[in-house]
């Protein structure tokens, strides 16, 4: 737990990257922390502002190709996120934000654009747009239930030896290689919108637990009923 007992959530570049309700990830983290008596402070970092290094959990969302390129340039120049993660902060990076975390990704004409190199992944334009519901089984080492979400991207992502696949794709495209997302240390990358943490509260608790330690259980029965309903519908399709 942070020394002053306030959990700092940093939402990176809402003015450039926040599609399909990604900002909901911030709300879910805040709410699940507060329901356990953990005080939170949320910092919205616009792309004109420096990224603070004192955050506990960093979030970045998806977006169109041009804002994505701009975000990568600004994050590279800023360096705050890089220092925060080197200092042990955790992070959830979604879609465009996920691709930015790698060495390279495809721009609006498919041209290679430099990422910020915090995850051992490389993305490029794929053969077709991946759009629709996604279902994936999580790496057993993480002990999380089935992931559900929505994807909409042109990019495909190749994982290097420095990361592990987050999950194996059951429905949808994900990375494009049979896997969805990746993780390394306390950083998770995923193509899941929805928002991801509302659809998958256990993923929110993974991020919280990395910073806070043991978490008191919550009554998630209503969320679980919704999850099961959605999973049954998507898998029956």
What are the residues binding ligand GLN (CB under 6 A)? 19, 62-65, 68, 95-96, 152-155
The C-alpha atoms of residue 91 and residue 182 are separated, in whole angstroms, by: 12
Report, in Å, the least distance between residue 64 CB and ligand GLN.
6
Q: Are 24 and 198 in contact (CB under 8 A)?
A: yes
The C-alpha atoms of residue 190 and residue 92 are separated, in whole angstroms, by: 8
Active-site residue among 44, 95, 153, 182? 95
Return the closest-CA partner of residue 83 out of 10, 180, 170, 172.
10
Report, in Å, the least distance between residue 222 CB and ligand GLN.
28
- In sequence order, the 6+-apart residues with CB closer than 8 A to the CB of 77 are none
Structure tokens at 219: 């009554």
Residue 44 is a catalytic residue: no
Q: Closest residue (Cβ) to ligand GLN?
A: 62
**Lookup result for tokens 């915090």:** 118
Report, in Å, the least distance between residue 219 CB and ligand GLN.
32
Residue 193 is a catalytic residue: yes
Active-site residue among 153, 182, 186, 193? 193
Cβ-based nearer residue to ligand GLN, 125 or 211: 125
Cβ-based nearer residue to ligand GLN, 107 or 117: 107
211 belongs to an annotated ligand binding site: no
Residue 144 backbone phi and psi in degrees, to 5: -110, 150
Cβ-based nearer residue to ligand GLN, 93 or 163: 93
Task: Please give the positions annotated as active site.
Answer: 95, 193
Tell me the binding residues for substrate: 129
């Amino acid at each position: 737990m942070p020394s002053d007992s306030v959990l700092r959530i940093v939402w990176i570049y809402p003015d450039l990257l926040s599609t399909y309700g990604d900002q909901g990830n911030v709300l879910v983290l805040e709410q699940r922390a507060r329901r356990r008596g953990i005080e939170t402070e949320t910092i919205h970092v616009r792309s004109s502002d420096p990224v603070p290094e004192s955050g506990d959990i960093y979030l970045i969302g998806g977006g169109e190709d041009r804002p994505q390129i701009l975000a990568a340039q600004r994050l590279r120049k800023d360096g705050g996120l890089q220092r925060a993660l080197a200092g042990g902060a955790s992070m959830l990076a979604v879609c465009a934000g996920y691709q930015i975390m790698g060495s390279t990704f495809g721009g609006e004409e498919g041209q290679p654009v430099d990422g910020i190199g915090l995850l051992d992944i490389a993305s490029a334009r794929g053969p077709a747009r991946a759009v629709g519901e996604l279902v994936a089984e999580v790496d057993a080492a993480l002990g999380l239930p089935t992931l559900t979400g929505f994807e909409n991207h042109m990019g495909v992502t190749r994982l290097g030896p420095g990361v592990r696949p987050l999950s194996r794709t059951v429905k949808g495209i994900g990375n494009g290689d049979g896997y969805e997302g990746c993780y390394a240390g306390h950083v998770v990358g995923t193509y899941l919108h929805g928002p991801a943490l509302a659809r998958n509260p256990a993923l929110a608790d993974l991020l919280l637990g990395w910073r806070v330690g043991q978490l008191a259980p919550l009554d998630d029965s209503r969320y679980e009923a919704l999850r099961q309903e959605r999973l049954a519908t998507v898998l029956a399709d």
